[in-house]
Structure 1
Amino acid sequence: MYKKNLHNQIVELLQQQSFNIAKNDSAFFARFIANATAIESLYQQLYAQHPENNRIWKQLLQLIITAYQQRPSAFVERDTKKLQQEQWFLSNELAGMSLYVDRFCGDLQQLPNKLDYFRELGINVLHLMPLFESPLHESDGGYAVSNFRKVDERFGTLQHLQQLQQNMQQQEMFLMLDIVLNHTSHQHEWAQKAKQGDEKYQDFYYMFTDRQIPDQFDASMPEIFPESAPGNFTYVPECNQWVMTVFHQYQWDLNYRNPEVFLAMLDTIFFYANLGVDILRIDAPAFIWKEIGTTCQNLPQAHAILQLIKCCVEVATPGMALLGEAIVAPKKIMQYFGTGLYVAHECDFAYNATQMALQWDALATQDVRVMLAAQEDLARKPYGTSWITYTRCHDDIGLGYEDNSIRKAGYNPYEHRRYLKNYYSGNIENSPARGTLFSINPKTQDARISGTLASLCGLEAALAKQNEVFIAESIAKILMMQAQTFFLGGLPMLFYGDEVGYTNDYTYLSDPGKSYDNRWMHRPLIDWIKNEKRNTVGSIEYQIFTQTQQLLQIRKQLPVLSDYSNITWLTPHNIHVAGFMRSYGSERIYALFNYSNKAAYITWHAFKEHVPVPKKLFNYINQQVYTVGADYEYLILPPYDIALLALQEQY
């Protein structure tokens, strides 16, 4: 809806600051006018009743203008190039890696020396785990930020980060960083002022003089870390108040009911955008609005905040995509792509955490039926948005997919999850997995799983036994899991160390800042002597690295693997095999993954259910050509094998 008064307000602001809206700044002006009504509507939806509403509204408009004014010309040019590609981030040519800078190579000064390593593997997107200042033994892996604009000295300086970004941009690589919207460290300047009694900054948090309101919140709020951080409020003796601390006691939840908080955090978002961030990972967005009588997760106001952020970013820094790190059930995750008027206009990316967990489900059971049952919900992702696909990340593996998907596969949900937890923690006889349960809830027995990709796939146990057969099998599992992640649709994000098969790192147990959190076992300290073994033919590192490299090369050859919402799951002719078809124009690819430790047989009829019916298929994995046989004949997949089959006439 066009609003003349709003239009005039923006024009007046721009004219006061000598903008040339007819020439140099015309694209910015057009984006501003196009988004202005939505920005105003969302802002008023959240803050119409706030006494400082009008003053902060004017500051919001000026903040958008200032962010654009401060955007370096090189980034403005890059914005234009990205916008010309429509959704640049859907491309099959993108592949990422997530890493802790200090554990990967020491610091930001050393990381530019590793860019050739990423390019060798086929990685052109780097997600650098939290870099900004956080207290050493109260950091939650960097997610307890004490200064959003100062790089922690453990990693280097802001200038080192900017130099890295410039080096990456010259090599056509993309940078992804985190912003923690939900909370700050208790050592952040705002929290320190709140402790000193400053009422302005006490209103930046949920702070209360007694337990009356906290108890009302607690009545319906779950505990996130019941073992290590029970409860949702912490007493602050310095000011004799209770502060909301949903995650850890040293992480204070920000109060987005206060528009000053929104403005301050949007300013930080623009700060990151103007550092050259291509993808901004918004940590824990499900928690950013709190209401008594609810779980304080996934509330409508949280989505309104994200939609408002998206509109503001689209105006001032449109080349930066937004990733919402909402690890929730499939029906809930779809909401983070936007609903109603804001479909595909909230977060550009979300983590496909459900698919990740379903692959681990299939690996443990050698049965893909639970995975297939969940795909109907996942297929609702709107066009123009994308997944981050992954087999491992810095976090644990949750089992929070729908009970109904488990029931459809013929399993009892409680017993099924108990089996998975026992399998991956090595508590089932002959289980090759070497993981550990994380955040066990003593009331419900809910738990998540920690462990590296290699250890959960059996490599650690196989190496301990020096069993070559089991080593080969574990490598096949690693590659199959990665291949499905790469070919599924979305931006694949490897976790560092997985490309050469790192097993669990137990040194965290001797570090007082980490010993309470077993997720550090799958956050390895890189030994570059081990990584150099990728060049030693026949070594485990060589096998995993070169075959991962090959899979990424295949992905980049095939535009059909871009995320055009073009996936169709195949009829499950074999419960051990997950299969889907990707189509784009005249191109078609069939992808098959055998989750069994035995050969799997797939009837050729599986390839005849969609026209045109293929006569010959070329397998990009082993370079073989297959003639499509009669329905009673079979394609045979060896244990844990992959097939990526194209119509022969495309080859």
Structure 2
Amino acid sequence: MLSIFEQLTERVEHHLNVIYQDVDLSISIPELSQQLLATMRIGDADSIVEPKQHHNSWDEKDVLLITYGDSVEKPGEKPLHTLHTFLKNYCADSVNSVHILPFFPYSSDDGFSVIDYSSVNESLGDWDDIEAITQDYRLMSDVVINHCSSRSAWFTNFIKGEGPGHDFFFTASPDIDTSMVTRPRTSDLLRLTETENGEQYVWCTFSHDQVDFDFTNPNVLDAFVSIIRQYLDTGIRLFRLDAVAFLWKTIGTSCINLEQTHEAVRLLRTLIEHAVDDAVIITETNIPNRQNLTYFGNANEAHGIYNFSLPPLLVNSLVTGSCKHLKSWLGSMPPAQNGTFFFNFIASHDGIGLRPAEGLLDDTELTTLVNTMQNFGGRISWRKSENGEQKAYEINIALYDALQGTTKGEDKWGLERFVCAHAVMFGLEGIPGVYIHSLLGTGNDYEKVRNTSQNRSINRHKWDYDSLVEVLNDPQSQHAKAHGRITELLNIRKNQPAFHPNCTQFTLQLGEQLFGFWRQSLKRNQSIFCVHNMSDQIQTLRLSDLNLIGTDTWLDLISQQTICMEDLEYQLQPYQSLWISNTL
């Protein structure tokens, strides 16, 4: 019988054989396997964690706050220290995890063009500040795995033709046909670079400051295993694999979602979960829904995947007053197997991606959504389609402003619509991620867009801590109202077993204006019927449509009102949400 280490070695070698099946390596697969295990510091039975299959290391109490390291600042104080203070003062009871967007030295893209993966950006703080946060919260770090900054030491060595990183980057001839390559940007794919070895054309999926790695070189893989090991040592337990869908390139293909990419994610999961038992991988793949789902594998790839179709579908429902597409999508979604989860979010540092809505909303509906968001101050980012045409790739807008009205224009229901959106997300199967500017009800930052000339800056406001405290102490401010209402929902959510990320979910058929789904915890015998009025008109809910068990006592968890079984109908105000639960 094979030992645990021998079994692990066989698994790693299998992953590597799939990844490098068409690559002529200068190192044998067994040697490479041992190198990676040594880098992850897994060398004997004492250093191996045997992961439990289909085990959920999360529950209904898990909520993640998404923020930049300097979203909250205070003069004379390190932003990471200020952020930690904000978390303790305003999130301690409602949030137990935090995603700090790239906190490394960078040259562009607000952190996603990393200069040095091993250092903390000095303008934010240092590793001691990161470790201090990990003592109070589960911390998610980005692993910007597809590309790095053109100002990194690795790329400098590429230009020199010697030193670490000199062979880390993917190059191609400008004469090749790249028409099949899928990209989220309109800039030229290849960047002409003068090197000591002559002219080289470097592959740049995103921008010419973001140069793509060449994972056919196993030293690139080993470098990222070393980076992940360092992050584990600092207490980081959640790893967001940024833009991972583009990791492997094969000329003549779309260069997205290739077999080797999926196998690389499986390999990283194998190494990480055998090093630390509660470490989690989340893949960031802003692509059409069916493609996104493939990153679960067979519960052997990503632990979590971003639920990218949720933001555009939910916003579309709330501004049109019809949930037909949202309902159809939810009803078609497979449940996440135990050991995996959906990472639900409705706002982020980027914007509302539209590719995940392809095939779910038609062109006319997408155009209406884009026009409505522009009416509320939003900006649009574009990409080149397969036939060379420009298509809307992403809506850049603060969620608070995105929901200030409908396709008919702005109205008085903005706050209720905004809260309804979060009530939907908090009830869905999966773990919710709340963007800091949604928690704070921050609006569009037009000044930052003017200063940076970047559309995404519209939803990347930086708060002065003292000014933030002042508005949060003002009960009439939109910020205090948003923070209070969202925090209240989160505090209710975390005490409901049926809101466990992997509990049963069933989509209800309640018409176009009422969006409903049912959650159930068999272990704790709890059922919750989540019903949301997606329109600006009063809607009638027939209790008979919910099939409530008459012998149970039912309570709306949000209003704390008992549901009287003798009432045949219930009137929902515009954008009102009900979480109807049997009492435990």
Q: Using the alignment, how far apart are the partners of 2:179 and 2:456 within structure 1?
A: 29
Superposition TM-score, scaled by structure 2 size: 0.91
Residue 603 of structure 1: which of 507, 531, 542 is its match?
A: 542
SS at match of 1:151: coil
1:45 aligns with 2:9: no
* Conservation of the 8 A alpha-carbon contact between 1:357 and 1:399: yes
- Deviation at residue 199 of structure 1 after TM alignment: 9.2
* Corresponding letter in the other structure for 1:356: P
Residue correspondence of structure 1 range 120-519 to structure 2 within 5 A: 120=92, 122-135=94-107, 139-165=108-134, 169=135, 171=136, 173-198=137-162, 201-208=165-172, 210-212=173-175, 215-216=176-177, 218-226=178-186, 230-238=187-195, 239-338=198-297, 343-401=298-356, 404-406=359-361, 413-426=362-375, 433-439=376-382, 441=384, 443-458=389-404, 470-471=411-412, 473-511=413-451, 514-515=452-453, 517-519=454-456
Equivalent residue letter for 2:71? R
* Structure 2 residue identity aligned to 1:269: I
AA paired with 1:374?
A: W
3-state SS of 2:316 partner: helix
Q: 1:87 aligns with which of 53, 56, 59?
A: 56
Shift of 1:521: 0.7
Superposed displacement of residue 85, structure 1: 11
Unmatched 5+ stretches in structure 2:
none
SS in 1 for 2:117: strand
The structure where helix makes up a greater share of residues is: 1
Name the CA distance, whole Å, in 2 between partners of 1:199 and 1:159: 30
Cα distance in 1 between the residues matched to 2:325 and 2:566: 29
Write the distance in 2 (CA, Å) between the matches of 1:85 and 1:403.
31
Asked if the contact 1:122/1:553 (under 8 Å) is kept, the reply is yes
User: Quick one: which of 550, 569, 582 aligns to 1:634?
Assistant: 569
Q: Deviations over 1:305-347 (max 9, x none)?
A: 0001111112122321001001122211111011xxxx11111
Residue pairs, 1:22-61, within 5 angstroms: 30=4, 32-48=5-21, 50-52=23-25, 54-55=27-28, 57-61=30-34
Deviations 1:266-297 (A, max 9, x none): 11111111211111111011000111222111
C-alpha deviation, 1:265, in angstroms = 1.2
**Structure 1 SS opposite 2:158:** helix
Please report how far the alpha carbon of residue 584 of structure 1 lies from its aligned counterpart in structure 2 after TM superposition.
1.1
CA 1:368/1:613 → structure 2, altered by over 3 Å: closer, same or farther?
farther
What code does the residue aligned with 1:453 have? L
Matched residues in 2 for 1:379 and 1:46: separation? 28
- Report the CA distance between 1:578 and its aligned residue: 0.9
Verify the 8 A CA contact 1:489 1:563 in the aligned structure 2.
Answer: yes
Given that 2:53 and 2:339 are in contact with CA atoms closer than 8 Å, whether structure 1 keeps it comes out as no
| 1:555 Cα deviation from its structure 2 partner | 0.6
1:67 maps to which of 37, 40, 43: 40
Residue 600 of structure 1: CA displacement? Answer: 1.0
Report the 3-state secondary structure (helix = DSSP H, G, I; strand = E; otherwise coil) of the residue aligned with 2:353. Answer: coil
Moved more, 282-291 or 500-509: 500-509
Match of 2:557 among 620, 624, 645: 620
Distance 1:65 1:201, change over 3 A: closer
The amino acid across from 1:425 in the alignment is: Q
- Is the deviation greater in 260-269 or in 199-208? 199-208
Does the CA-based 8 Å contact 2:69-2:100 persist in structure 1?
yes
Offset at residue 629 of structure 1 (A): 4.8
Residue identity opposite 1:224 in structure 2:
P
CA 1:523/1:646 → structure 2, altered by over 3 Å: closer, same or farther? same
Aligned length: 570
Once the two structures are superposed, residues 239-265 of structure 1 have per-residue CA deviations (whole angstroms, 9 ceiling, x without a partner) of 411100010001111111111111111
| Cα distance in 1, alignment partners of residues 264 and 54 from structure 2 | 27
Structure 1 distance, partners of 2:286, 2:539, is 33
> Quick one: structure 1 residues 638 and 64, their matched pair in 2 at CA, closer, same or farther if it must change by over 3 Å?
same
Aligned sequence identity (%)? 22
